[in-house]
Structure 1
């Protein structure tokens, strides 16, 4: 079935979690993050900030000391873990976000492997995309297809498909974004969030969700790391991967519009209105984006 759905604020409002009186930090969702590196510590802080500001009850971070220090500088409420310890005994989480900014750190790679093997829902970004997609294509699917969300941009989608022996160029991806997102979803048996000015979420089986065009100011370094954190929070709340991706993309776009000083009820506004933003501005605007959702 090749069903195509357009996502709007009503779709998000129906699904986005709201804490109950009897909730605690664990029942609200614990997000584990394996991201960042000595070379790219900022990715760790951005993913953790995205998850925390989107409403996770707790965020656990696994990574090298330099990245741990930066995470705690920005998010002192985060709980940090040594990668070697996490690889041997994975901390409990309702969802893991893996791959953003990871680089050549065997203990962290082992922790990502432990998260994959645990069967816990996964958001997979950047440096973990090829590893996870190849493993799932080969039949290693401890988490079901509706509990894994891959979040490539067009170049990463091309490279991941090439790693899976599908010969494709970026030009071809741009000409048929939904088609190639579907191809990766089918091959890896996972939902795929293809980032861009118009975000597409494809599911195995052919379903596609299309988001409204997002503000162009979101095209800034680290924006995708924040999005991965938001998606982790959505997945940890119990949403299916495609719904988590669609909700996260809508809220991320709305936060970008708020951070850029744009007005209006939806993420989509005229391209050249507003002002420049950086990734942490998006994270800081997430609570306001969530507060803007219509509630009964």
Structure 2
């Protein structure tokens, strides 16, 4: 049975991780990111920026040299890893973000496979959606359903459902976004965050979370990569997938609102506005 609920500031305030005097970079959460490519290096920089600005204690990046260089240009504190080395020996992380901007690169695909096999919490975006959904639908479920978050937009949801042999169209999804998000959640045994002006999160079992409408300026290239990084930080801090997705999407929208001021924004603006958005919602909890 579905349980459609809206989430807002109180939900985020109660759950978003705020460090204390006893914390260090490891206890705050290490996020591993396998994203970007030679063709799309920007996705790597945006996902890493989202995770770092959302409060990850450390971010590890796995990807090709061009993307590594761009990541280090924007976020020099990032620890970078060669995909071949990571596939052989996966670096330690509390959660992994995979798929944003990946292209045909066998070593990076192998690293994504290693992240899946590790059983660590997982955010799955863009180029990794089909492979991860098929693997989980066929019974390869090293990570529990409440620690795996698939993050498609509507077109990617259609493609992923078709890869799982569901005959759906974009019009079908637009007409029933919650129903088709639930369909993927049940088939892949994972939580699904369907991106859009009103984000929908569906978990296996039928629970649905509906977020308030986000600013329209958020519909810009790369904003989903930033969201993937934010969600990785939430999972690395120990949140379950549905709460991580709802909190991250709410903060993503709030950061966009702060960055926009009513005008256009680009994806990196969202990442830069995240500390202010988080401070505004957590300062009350910190004061208490």
How does the TM-score come out when normalised to structure 1?
A: 0.95
For the residues of structure 2 that align with 1:136 and 1:104, how far apart are their CA atoms?
A: 21
1:17-64 CA distance string (max 9 Å, x none):
100111000000000000000000000000000000000000000000
For the residues of structure 1 that align with 2:269 and 2:121, how far apart are their CA atoms?
A: 27
| Counterpart residue number, 2:200 | 200
1:279 alignment partner, one of 246, 267, 275: 267
| Counterpart residue number, 1:288 | 276
| Counterpart residue number, 1:267 | none
| Counterpart residue number, 2:99 | 99
1:222-281 CA distance string (max 9 Å, x none):
0000000000000000000000000000000000000001xxxxxxxxxxxx01000000
Matching of residues 215-294 of structure 1 within 5 Å: 215-261=215-261, 274-293=262-281, 294=284
| Counterpart residue number, 1:83 | 83
Please give the secondary structure, in 2, of the residue aligned with 1:220.
Answer: coil
Aligned length: 284
For the residues of structure 1 that align with 2:265 and 2:217, how far apart are their CA atoms?
A: 6
- Alignment of 1:146 with 2:146, yes or no, is yes
Q: CA offset at residue 118 of structure 1? A: 0.3
Q: CA offset at residue 286 of structure 1? A: 0.3
For the residues of structure 2 that align with 1:288 and 1:20, how far apart are their CA atoms?
A: 18
Please give the secondary structure, in 2, of the residue aligned with 1:214.
Answer: coil
Q: CA offset at residue 11 of structure 1? A: 0.6
1:191-247 CA distance string (max 9 Å, x none):
000000000000000000000000000000000000000000000000000000000
| Counterpart residue number, 1:155 | 155
For the residues of structure 2 that align with 1:161 and 1:84, how far apart are their CA atoms?
A: 30
Structure 1 gap segments, 5+ residues each: 262-273
Please give the secondary structure, in 2, of the residue aligned with 1:292.
Answer: helix
How does the TM-score come out when normalised to structure 2?
A: 0.98
| Counterpart residue number, 2:71 | 71
Structure 2 gap segments, 5+ residues each: none
| Counterpart residue number, 2:56 | 56
For the residues of structure 1 that align with 2:15 and 2:112, how far apart are their CA atoms?
A: 28
| Counterpart residue number, 1:17 | 17
Q: CA offset at residue 5 of structure 1? A: 1.1
| Counterpart residue number, 1:170 | 170
| Counterpart residue number, 1:44 | 44
